[in-house]
Amino acid sequence: MPSDNAPTPLPDVPIRIKRLPNSGGLPLPAYATDGAAGMDIVAAESLTLRPGARAAVATGIALAIPAGWEVQVRPRSGLALKNGITCLNTPGTIDSDYRGEVKVILANLSDEYFEVKRGERIAQLVPAQVQRALLIEVEELDDTKRGSGGFGSTGR
Ligand SMILES: O=c1ccn([C@H]2C[C@H](O)[C@@H](COP(=O)(O)OP(=O)(O)OP(=O)(O)O)O2)c(=O)[nH]1
Ligand SMILES: [Mg+2]
């Protein structure tokens, strides 16, 4: 049971989507369950990924994401765990001004060939609000306890 003080979910962000000529018969990205964070997106082509290979896989869709937002392309854990298939550039970034076909850059980290079948769900899309930075160039930065320590400097 949700508690009485459950936070209000953010409203759905509207994103215009266009089917491209190669999308015939394919479903649009969709949430698999009511609580799914990502919309599963399917491959619009079939291909074979040899061990260690990567490919930009067509999805048959293009988006117009509202300004101030992006869409992240993330791997599916089942493909990762069972087949060693991930998105090489995860999370992939779809810019709000990109109007080309959304592609999923799959990599086969396993030692077996992997068949991507057209219509198979290969990744998931998550919209995210983007905060842009204003860079302020300075001569000196303030001191901190960490300083330039990093990359395991605090121990395991
Ligand atoms: O997984 C991805 C990542 C990117 N893109 C598209 C949409 C994105 O807006 C564009 C550019 O992506 P990114 O900025 O990550 O790549 P880049 O190498 O910096 O290319 P560019 O110089 O075009 O920005 O490529 C995809 O379709 N799928
Ligand atoms: Mg870029």
- Within 10 angstroms of residue 55's Cβ, the number of other Cβ atoms is 18
Domain at 79, CATH number: 2.70.40.10
Q: Is residue 60 part of a domain?
A: yes
Ligand 2 centroid vs 155 CA: distance in angstroms? 34
| Cα 135 to ligand 1 centre (Å) | 22
Classified as helix, coil or strand, 80 is helix
Answer whether 105 contacts ligand 1 (Cβ < 6 A). yes
Compute the distance from residue 35 Cα to the ligand 2 centre, in Å: 31
Residue 64: which domain range?
A: 20-129
- Is 145 contained in some domain? no
Does 119 carry a binding-site annotation? no
Domains: count for the chain: 1
Domain contains 151? no
Whether 115 is covered by a domain: the verdict is yes
Residue 34 lies in a domain: yes
Q: What is the pLDDT along the chain (156 residues), one digit of tens a residue?
A: 656 799 999 999 999 999 999 999 999 999 999 999 999 999 999 999 999 999 999 999 999 999 999 999 999 999 999 999 999 999 999 999 999 999 999 999 999 999 999 999 999 999 999 999 999 999 999 999 999 999 999 999
In a domain, 143, yes or no: no
In this structure, is residue 92 part of a structural domain? yes
The pick from 54, 76, 93, 125 for probing ligand 1's pocket by mutation, whose C-beta has the most ligand atoms within 8 angstroms, reads 93
ipTM: 0.99
Please tell me the predicted confidence (pLDDT) of residue 4.
Answer: 79
Q: Is residue 12 part of a domain?
A: no
